[in-house]
Amino acid sequence: MPPSNQNRRYSNIESGQNHACGIRSDLDQYPGMMDCWSMKKTTKQRSFYRSLWPHPNIALQSIVVGVDLTCGLDQDGMAFYWGSPSPQFNITAPPPYKFQSVVSGGNHVCRIVKTTSEVKCWGGNFMNQGSPQEETRFIALAGGSKHSCGIRQDNHCLECWGSFNQSSIPKDVEFLGIASTNIMTCGIREDNLIMDC
C-alpha cells in the first residue's frame, strides 16, 4: 500500500490480479471515495502506483476488482467501471440501469438489474462468460475467468454460462449462495447447508 494511504480508514476493499481498491469509510474525510493502487516489484525495491477515484463527488457503496478492471456501484445502484489503474482510467459511459449487486470474473463484470433481476455483463466475452440467458431472473452471481454462474430466482437452481462443464452442475438442487474461482464454482445447498463444488 502506498505510504499516503496507510492511515486512511476503509469500509470495503477488493483486490484483483495486479491491483487493489478500497472505499473510504464514514470516518474518513472523504467517505465513499475510492483509492486504487498496484505494486511494481523490481529486484531492488517495491514501488506502489496510486490512483484516486476520478469522480470525487460520487460516493461508492461497493466495488469489485478483476484482472484488469474495477467496477463500483454508487448509493443508487448506478455502475461505473474502467480498465486497469493507469493515469488514464479509461472510464466507460455508465450503463442506463441501476443494479442490486455486481461480481467480477477476471476480465468481465456481471450485474443484477434492480428492477428486473436480469443479468447484464460487460467486458471480456471470448468464451461467452458475459452472455447470460436473456429474461432469466437471478438472486445471486459469481464469476470465473471463463465462466459466470447465477442462482435463478424462480427455483434457486444454479445456471452457468461460458466455458464450464455443464454436467458438473447438480440438477434440481436449490442453492443459498455461490462463489467462483477462476476455474470452478461452489455453492451452498439450501436444504442441508452442504457445499458442492
Give residue-wise pLDDT tens across range 21-41. Answer: 888 898 888 888 888 887 766
pLDDT band at 139 (very low <50, low <70, confident <90, very high): very high
What is the pLDDT at residue 189?
A: 95
The partner residues of 72 in beta bridges, in order of sequence, read: 63, 80
Q: CA 10 → CA 34, 59, 80, 193, 194, distances in Å?
A: 9, 13, 19, 32, 33
Q: Do 80 and 116 belong together in one domain?
A: no
Q: Do 119 and 164 belong together in one domain?
A: yes
What is the pLDDT at residue 94?
A: 47
User: Quick one: 127 exposed, middle or buried, by C-beta within 10 A (0-12, 13-18, 19+)?
Assistant: middle
Q: Do 88 and 130 belong together in one domain?
A: no
Last residue of a domain, one of 72, 94, 116: 94
More confident residue, 44 or 109: 109
Residue-number span of the structural domain to which 49 is assigned? 1-94
Q: Do 196 and 116 belong together in one domain?
A: yes
Work out whether strand 108-113 and strand 175-180 pair parallel, antiparallel, or are unpaired. unpaired
Q: Do 4 and 82 belong together in one domain?
A: yes
Q: Do 110 and 151 belong together in one domain?
A: yes
Q: Do 90 and 109 belong together in one domain?
A: no
CA-to-CA distance for 62 and 72, rounded, in angstroms?
6
Q: Do 46 and 65 belong together in one domain?
A: yes
pLDDT band at 151 (very low <50, low <70, confident <90, very high): very high
Question: C-alpha cell of 183?
Answer: 476455474
| Amino acid in the structure at residue 95 | P
What is the pLDDT at residue 91?
A: 42
Q: Do 21 and 55 belong together in one domain?
A: yes
CA-to-CA distance for 16 and 105, rounded, in angstroms?
10
| Percent with pLDDT over 90 in the chain | 26
Distance from the first to the final alpha carbon of the chain: 34
DSSP 168: G
Domains in the chain, number: 2
Last residue of a domain, one of 43, 76, 94: 94
Q: Do 104 and 157 belong together in one domain?
A: yes
Helix or strand (DSSP H, E) at 36: strand 34-41
Is 148 within 8 Å of 108 (Cβ atoms)?
A: yes
Is 110 within 8 Å of 121 (Cβ atoms)?
A: yes
pLDDT band at 47 (very low <50, low <70, confident <90, very high): low
More confident residue, 116 or 87: 116
For the beta carbon of residue 120, count every other beta carbon within 10 angstroms.
17
> The whole model's pTM is what?
0.77
More confident residue, 44 or 143: 143
Q: Do 130 and 111 belong together in one domain?
A: yes
Q: Do 111 and 62 belong together in one domain?
A: no
Question: C-alpha cell of 78?
Answer: 448506478
More confident residue, 126 or 186: 186
pLDDT band at 72 (very low <50, low <70, confident <90, very high): confident
Last residue of a domain, one of 70, 94, 118: 94
What is the pLDDT at residue 54?
A: 64
Is 72 within 8 Å of 62 (Cβ atoms)?
A: yes
DSSP 3: G
